[in-house]
Amino acid sequence: MERIWINWKDNCRKALSSVVAFLLVLVMYGCSGNSSDEPESEMLVLNATSLLIEADGADVTEFTVTKGNQDVTAAAEILQDGKVFSGTRFYTDTEGEYKFSARYNGETSAEIVVRATKSENLVMPADPEPDRYEGFVKRVLLLQATGTWCGWCPAVMASIKEYNNSFSDGMAVFAAAHNRDAMSNDFADKVIQWLSVSGFPTLNINLVPGETVSCYTNGSDVVTANVDAIRKVVETYTAKDAKSAIAAVVRADKASNKVEVEAKIKIAEGGSYRVAAWLLEDGILDNSQQNYTDLTDDFSTHNNVLRQSSASLAFGDKLGDSLPAGSTEDYSCSFTLSSEKMDNCRVVIMVTAPEGGVFAVDNVVMCPLNDKVGFEYK
């Protein structure tokens, strides 16, 4: 099994032996079937006009069922929590997450989740310990530098997916900055440049240049090994004391295509701090992902994609230069969606502080749209 330290330089590849180089050519040739000229998938898919609705008894999402390019809604069954759902329209006046799937000719589709929320309930959560300014729960930001042209990147993609399946504690917040593909953008390029990424894939820790997770890129147990490596990093970094804590409300309005972020930040240690909110998008389909690995997962669906940032700098904009310990700061920003699909978006809010001569992520939270997160204490 080949192990690559993810911050390796480009010229490392030039050191490959001629035999390995020949094998890589064969693998690249064999992966050509993953390109965008591949026939349409024949998978059964349940579609919804919206995965995010207002819990007012009037806002509706409508379902359709497709098999490849064929609409089979009329002949299919829609299931809610495994039981047959009557009709193709769903609405509710009760907040919650509602799970649906479709069944057709003995095949069952993947499950989708419709979230119903009440706008009037989207207020900043009450602080359970308003006088406490220590012992904050700390999370770590893991930033994947990637691109669909990168044939080794599927190893990290599959490992992140498996990590999230294995650990649901939310202590790791993942984001993906794409380079030189259809999902790249100016801010993602700015982050990659700030981190001095010279080899792909890279899995960076807390936006510190050169601070990376080392991962395998090929082999029979590559995903298991990488999940173990990621978990060790998460446990190490989240065991440290956090200087800051974040509470937030994220409101989304489909009519205006706007997302508004309101946050409060508690400061445990006086000093200089910066802040940023990132808009991430899941479920982006792109069949051009190259794959030099032995993995056969679905690499046409891209998650955690960094789409927009509230900050002009990779490590955040100024929150304050001399913030006192025991203070609580306010922060707000907004995003206007363009090509992003609102149903698939969420927001990451981070606070950075000086560490080793750079601003590193001190704490970070993830908040779905039309949802809220409160201050958390150990």
Instruction: Write out pLDDT tens, residues 167-193.
Output: 999 999 999 999 999 999 999 999 999
Least confident of 38-52, 162-176, 192-206, 310-324: 38-52
3-state helix, strand, coil split of the chain in percent (to 5) is 20, 40, 40
First to last CA, the chain: 39
Distances from the Cα of 329 to the Cα of 22, 201, 249, 325, 361, angstroms: 57, 36, 14, 11, 17
Q: Answer for the pair 162, 227: CB distance below 8 angstroms, yes or no.
A: yes
Compute the distance between CA of residue 125 and CA of residue 303 in angstroms, rounded to an integer: 28
For 299, phi then psi, to 5°, come to -105, 15
Mean pLDDT of 308-333: 97
Token representation of residue 142 = 């893991």
Compute the distance between CA of residue 246 and CA of residue 338 in angstroms, rounded to an integer: 27
Compute the distance between CA of residue 217 and CA of residue 153 in angstroms, rounded to an integer: 8
Compute the distance between CA of residue 377 and CA of residue 246 in angstroms, rounded to an integer: 11
pLDDT tens digits for range 110-145: 999 999 998 878 999 999 999 999 999 999 999 999
User: Nearest-CA neighbor of 177 among 158, 159, 154, 200?
Assistant: 200
Query: Which domains, and CATH codes, for the chain?
Result: 44-109 (no CATH), 120-378 (2.60.40.10)
Mean pLDDT of 89-96: 96
Q: Reduced to 3 states, what is the DSSP secondary structure of residue 38?
A: coil
pLDDT at residue 22 tops 70: no
Which of the pair, 37 or 278, is modelled with greater confidence?
278
Pairing between β-strand 358-368 and β-strand 345-355 as defined by DSSP bridges: antiparallel
Which of the pair, 28 or 290, is modelled with greater confidence?
290
Q: Answer for the pair 264, 328: CB distance below 8 angstroms, yes or no.
A: yes
For 359, phi then psi, to 5°, come to -85, 115
> What confidence tier does 24 reach under pLDDT thresholds 50, 70, 90?
very low
Compute the distance between CA of residue 363 and CA of residue 17 in angstroms, rounded to an integer: 43
Token representation of residue 122 = 């989207």
Torsion of CA 17, 20, 22, 28, to 10 degrees: -140
pLDDT at residue 258 tops 50: yes
> What confidence tier does 298 reach under pLDDT thresholds 50, 70, 90?
confident
* Average pLDDT value for the chain: 90
Q: Answer for the pair 49, 62: CB distance below 8 angstroms, yes or no.
A: yes
Provide, rounded to the nearest whole percent, the portion of the chain with pLDDT above 70: 89
Enclosing H/E stretch for 24: helix 18-30
Compute the distance between CA of residue 74 and CA of residue 84 in angstroms, rounded to an integer: 14
pLDDT at residue 266 tops 50: yes
> What confidence tier does 41 reach under pLDDT thresholds 50, 70, 90?
low
Q: Answer for the pair 284, 227: CB distance below 8 angstroms, yes or no.
A: no
Compute the distance between CA of residue 183 and CA of residue 195 in angstroms, rounded to an integer: 19
| pTM exceeds 0.85 for this model | no
How big is the CA angle at 13 (ends 7 and 15), to the nearest 5 degrees?
A: 120
Going by C-beta distance under 8 Å and a sequence separation of 6 or more, which residues neighbour residue 112?
46, 48, 51, 99, 100, 101
Alpha helices of 174-257 — where are they, by DSSP H?
186-194, 222-238
3-state secondary structure 70-104: EECHHHCEEEECCEEECCCEECCCCCEEEEEEEEE
Q: Reduced to 3 states, what is the DSSP secondary structure of residue 286?
A: coil
Token representation of residue 18 = 């001629």
Pairing between β-strand 44-48 and β-strand 305-309 as defined by DSSP bridges: unpaired
Q: Residue 354's pLDDT is what? A: 97
